[in-house]
Structure 1
Amino acid sequence: MADILKQLSAYVDPYQRSLYVCLISIAASPLAWNVIGRNEYKNHTLSKLVGARVACTILGIMIFLAGLLRDVLYRIALHDQPRYPLPYEIQTVLSWIIFGAGNFLVATSYHALGFYGTFAGDYFGILHEKRVTTFPFNILDNPMYLGAELCFIGAALWYERPAGLLISLYVHLTYAVALHFESPFTDMIYSQLGSSAQKHD
């Protein structure tokens, strides 16, 4: 067992505080926006104070800034972890393909959803006329989450840090838990919207 732990320590340093700060930041954002969003949907706490669009804009800016902070903390965590040299084809070519694909999915998702669609507008009652099904949502269920995961993987390969791949797996699991709560809510909201539209036809 000691030999296994010694071998693992060559790839992952579990004693770096930056690793756990990074993990906390990754989980904190989806937890916060789901808690705030659900409260807003039920109680309209922020909307009563400043209006739905202003409240959603504030939350959206907070989510965006939290994402930037998370990315900075991820980079710090990677630099504190052991480096494992990779071939050029993986470290540069593959990493940029993966990172580029991730950013492409994030950017096209944002373009399709818009600001309010991206940043929890449905919790504030700010909805599209119908559920977005244009690219990339016509080929993937959750392209923005997948895009973010690919960005984590691409960065892990670029910086040649095996720990980054484990963090990327943690990101995937975190988003899977978030989607467990978000997807049924979105389905419910737009099914109600569709039922309401049919009644008016």
Structure 2
Amino acid sequence: MDAIINLKDVNLLIASGCIIFNPLYWNIVARWECRSRAISRKLGAKVGCSLLAATILVLGIVRDWRFGEAIVTQPRWHVMEQQWIWALGYVTVSMGTILVLSSFLRLGFFGTFLGDYFGILMDERVIGFPFNIINNPMYWGTSLNFLGYAVVQASPVGIILSALVAIVYKIAIIYEGEFTTRIYNEADKNRKMV
């Protein structure tokens, strides 16, 4: 029986590294900025946040490309090559895309790309769709996009990498949620003192 996953494939290792690195990178840079204001002092908060956003987008493109390369170089699971499974994959991608795009529309550019770490705060917590049905819809939507693509491609390694995406995002949510709550609590305290 042929192996379902080639663990020696360099594309699998690179894709895994990209998946782990990206949220680690943006959390380190954003927290550093929040504590030091080094970027904001030099460039201004909006320009600094825009530069971070540009790097996040580029890293995301690289991650997505490496994810695709890992799928292409790994064996397919032919049992999954059925129309109903492909349809399920496309539905999953559609749901993920709805969550990601509606999150972006609710949060706006700076809300999406960690503007609060640069001092660009929203007036109030976002509670409309999709935030009223799921917390962190952008992360979960992205995870669904990866999973749906893996299912459509009948890729066991893609499913495993999708699980890695979800795990890494869950860890990021734990750290980001606590830190973001602290940022807004401090901002509320400052508003009340004025």
1:178 to 168, 172, 175: 172
Q: Does 1:57 align with 2:42?
A: no
Which consecutive residues of structure 2, in runs of 5 or more, have no partner in the other structure? none
1:89 is matched with 84
CA contact 1:130–1:190 (8 Å) conserved in 2: no
What SS does the aligned partner of 1:109 have?
A: helix
Q: Among the aligned pairs, what percent are the same residue? A: 36
Q: Does 1:114 align with 2:73?
A: no
Residue 62 (structure 2) pairs with residue 69 (structure 1)? yes
Match of 1:37 in 2: 30
Q: Provide the secondary structure at the position in 2 that maps to 1:116.
A: helix
Q: Which residue of 2 aligns with 1:189?
A: 183
8 Å Cα contact 1:130-1:193 kept in structure 2: no
Does the 8 Å contact 1:11/1:82 carry over to 2? yes
Measured after TM superposition, the shift of residue 198 of structure 1 is 4.2
- Cα drift, residue 69 of structure 1: 1.2
Deviation of 1:121 after TM superposition, in Å, equals: 0.4
Write the deviation string for residues 54-97 of structure 1: whole angstroms up to 9, x where unpaired. Answer: 0100110110111111111100000111111222100x210100
Q: What is the rounded CA distance, in whole Å, between the counterparts of 1:99 and 1:171 in structure 2?
A: 15
TM-score (norm 1): 0.91
Distance in 2 (CA, whole Å) between partners of 1:136 and 1:198 is 30
Contact 1:46 1:52 in 2 (8 A): yes
Q: Distance in 1 between matches of 2:112 and 2:57?
A: 10
